[in-house]
Amino acid sequence: MTRYLQIWLASARYSIVRTMMFRFDFFLWALVELCWMGVNLLMISVIYEHTQSIAGWSKYEMLLLVGTSLLVQRFLMGFFWSSLFELGRNIRSGYFDFFLAQPGNILFMASTRKLDPDGLLNSFVAMGVVAYAAHRLGLHPSALDLALYALMIFCGLVIHYSMLVISISVAFWITSAQGIEGIYFTLAEFSRLPREAFKGLASLAFVWLLPVVVVSNAPAHTLLHGFQPRWAFALLAAALLWLGAAVTVFHLGLRRYTSASS
């Protein structure tokens, strides 16, 4: 683990140095992401000008939920998105050979090669949104509640990472996985909606089969109502299940990779 941490730190240092060489690009993309986050928050403000509650959630409860969802997505974009986005292109071009020649776990090396400081920078904005919503709700979470919230955010990150790895791994079988990547981002939009808004088949699909709703609802519920074992264990089980599925699919696809030389 120490060796992999050293590898990740070296990759992170390289990414930061490279980003600072193109500062305008860094600030531009950080601003674009900030505007996108602002649009999501503005939408909440507009909707709650016409109603007091959505599926039992008040304005600032919804703000806390959306802030939690944005926090998970900013971490995903900051830590993994660039590497995973390039993974599909590298598989098609044969440049994936570079990772096969490295002395380490292939999935780790391929999915942590690059860091996006602009995404990580906006994660502090998402934290600010969560803190502001909690303040307006008069919440005073204990240290244990905050630790559980952080653990659930980590589990949510693992689930999103796993779903994205599975989506990208399809490139081992087909020419391009761009359409499937688009489906993933469409599903991720559901994470900003309350669990109570889903009924029947929608609940089965987006809460149980594809836990994109649980990813944000479980941490938000922890801050709002304290520790709830049902949410915590469901999220942890989903994280382990999806990570196992991602590793399995990736290695099945790896067997089909024929490299650039062939």
pLDDT along the chain (262 residues), means of 10: 85 85 81 85 88 87 92 91 84 82 85 86 92 92 90 94 89 72 74 82 78 88 85 88 94 81 53
Look up residue 200 and give its two tokens.
């029947």
For residue 244, the model assigns a pLDDT of 96
pLDDT digits (tens, 9 = 90+) for 161-188: 999 899 888 888 876 666 666 677 777 7
**Pick from 81, 82, 100: which is nearest to 251 by CA?**
100
For the chain, the first-to-last Cα distance in angstroms comes to 34
Task: Report d(CA 194, CA 55) in Å as an integer.
Answer: 7
Write the burial class of residue 75 (CB in 10 Å: 0-12 exposed, 13-18 middle, 19+ buried). Answer: buried
pLDDT digits (tens, 9 = 90+) for 75-107: 998 999 888 888 878 887 778 888 888 778 889
For residue 261, the model assigns a pLDDT of 55
Contacts of residues 5-8 at CB distance under 8 Å and 24 or more positions apart, as own/partner, are 7/104, 7/109, 7/112, 8/112
For residue 72, the model assigns a pLDDT of 93
Q: pTM of the prediction? A: 0.89
For residue 179, the model assigns a pLDDT of 65
